[in-house]
Structure 1
């Protein structure tokens, strides 16, 4: 089992010589721009609008959350997912977390790069980040993702059970909170278990906190990630991935 988190753009993947993946998981930027905190109490000092705006008002989550190019991402995935094997039940998959507004563009771009099939996933939360809109409209308490594949259905480990297309958004306080849009390790582990086997390779092209890598490593999969924010990579390595060998023996 191997893993690494590179402080680089995923477009530069060739120089690292990493193996092709059975599964790509990515939480792509939602292109929210400076409205990232617009419906959250974090827009205000101590969450109180009477105290005025905080330093998060009119700010992005991160400076790449403005003009993320989905076509570049799809090109990377088309190159770094393994080819479809002849055997059934062995094909690779791509799981992309996205905003509801990005769904159609992702479908259209995926088809241009050979990912002709998809199905949606929904993740159910017990809270909503849209606190400031709670008295204005029905607020969002879900996350969305799409499972893409080329032609053959991807590898699917259901252990004899029916897997529904909705999942509970299970948080676990044992893992550090590093990134504002960080996905929970338990949720990622459930997905990795379904679409990969022991020893398979998982890649996250926009790795952020490194939670995808952590989930894969705990399941004895090799994992590789790319993240262009230097401070995020530093924190991910120090808090999320540090002493993984010791952690796995506990």
Structure 2
């Protein structure tokens, strides 16, 4: 089993680490929600109850980096760090970008400027909704969104002869600690990685957060590299998240 390589640095500085190019890039980029990051969450209020008044998270962004995330620089990184399209069919790379519904059109447009001319949209269906503060609405959101972006040839696709729908169930983790407010489930990431990569392929997460993408990749015997600029998440990933890998190694 490979060990994940997580760097406490910005992905723009990737050249200094001499990491290999990837078959798949997965990124959960900032949604640019600004001071409304917790607006649909009970965490806006003390103990999740509006009767207790607002918590310290009211009118706050998730991170101070949310307001200046540069999508063009991210796309440039992906264009440089994904392998070139091979001549053979069924071997091409791609990237998966988790995003808000409103970001999709912008991301598709910017991606085209960096050579990613095609996309497939993904919808993940949850069994509940985080929009509890909007419960007076007749319809509340229970979906997350992502885009598969690729250049010209369809990406590597392991479907085992089965049809895969672009609307998937949001698979929860049972025993993975949550150390990041927008952490994606390891089981869900394993599902995506298994579809678009083979054993020993390289997976890169330029916005690694909790390190859950790297954990999922290594669980599947892929080589995993990531960047996380926030020191507290980098530390938690190494001290908490990657402990699951150590247990697997010595089980």
What range describes the TM-score normalised by the shorter chain of this pair? over 0.9
- State the TM-score, normalized to the length of structure 1: 0.97
Task: Report the counterpart of residue 128 of structure 2 in structure 1.
Answer: 127
CA contact (8 A) 1:218 1:248 kept: no
Task: Report the counterpart of residue 59 of structure 1 in structure 2.
Answer: 60
Instruction: Map Cα deviations across residues 15-68 of structure 1 (whole Å, 9 max, x no partner).
Output: 000000000000000001110111211111111112111011111111112221
Instruction: Map Cα deviations across residues 103-123 of structure 1 (whole Å, 9 max, x no partner).
Output: 011000000000000010100
Task: Report the counterpart of residue 108 of structure 2 in structure 1.
Answer: 107
Give the unaligned 5+ runs of structure 2: none
Shift of 1:135: 1.0
Determine the C-alpha separation between the residues in 1 that align with 2:244 and 2:100.
34
Instruction: Map Cα deviations across residues 126-183 of structure 1 (whole Å, 9 max, x no partner).
Output: 0111101011341110000000110000000001111111111011121110101000
Give the unaligned 5+ runs of structure 1: none
Task: Report the counterpart of residue 27 of structure 2 in structure 1.
Answer: 26
Q: What is the 5 A alignment of 1:134-149?
A: 134-149=135-150
Determine the C-alpha separation between the residues in 2 that align with 1:103 and 1:56.
27
- State the TM-score, normalized to the length of structure 2: 0.97
Determine the C-alpha separation between the residues in 1 that align with 2:4 and 2:46.
39
Determine the C-alpha separation between the residues in 1 that align with 2:44 and 2:238.
29
RMSD (Å), alpha carbons = 1.1
**Farther-moved stretch of structure 1 (4-13 vs 36-45):** 36-45
Task: Report the counterpart of residue 178 of structure 1 in structure 2.
Answer: 179
Task: Report the counterpart of residue 81 of structure 1 in structure 2.
Answer: 82
Task: Report the counterpart of residue 189 of structure 1 in structure 2.
Answer: 190
CA contact (8 A) 1:155 1:195 kept: yes
CA contact (8 A) 1:208 1:227 kept: yes
Q: What is the 5 A alignment of 1:160-171?
A: 160-171=161-172
SS at match of 1:66: helix
Determine the C-alpha separation between the residues in 1 that align with 2:175 and 2:40.
27
Determine the C-alpha separation between the residues in 1 that align with 2:235 and 2:97.
24
Determine the C-alpha separation between the residues in 1 that align with 2:52 and 2:241.
34
Task: Report the counterpart of residue 221 of structure 2 in structure 1.
Answer: 220
CA contact (8 A) 2:4 2:215 kept: no
Task: Report the counterpart of residue 200 of structure 1 in structure 2.
Answer: 201
Determine the C-alpha separation between the residues in 2 that align with 1:135 and 1:185.
32
Change (3 A) 1:137 1:62: farther
Aligned residues: 250
Shift of 1:2: 4.4
Structure 1 runs of 4+ with >2 Å offset = none
Shift of 1:69: 1.1
Task: Report the counterpart of residue 242 of structure 1 in structure 2.
Answer: 243
Change (3 A) 1:127 1:243: closer
Task: Report the counterpart of residue 210 of structure 2 in structure 1.
Answer: 209
Instruction: Map Cα deviations across residues 171-198 of structure 1 (whole Å, 9 max, x no partner).
Output: 1121110101000001000000000000
Task: Report the counterpart of residue 119 of structure 2 in structure 1.
Answer: 118
CA contact (8 A) 2:34 2:61 kept: yes
SS at match of 2:97: strand
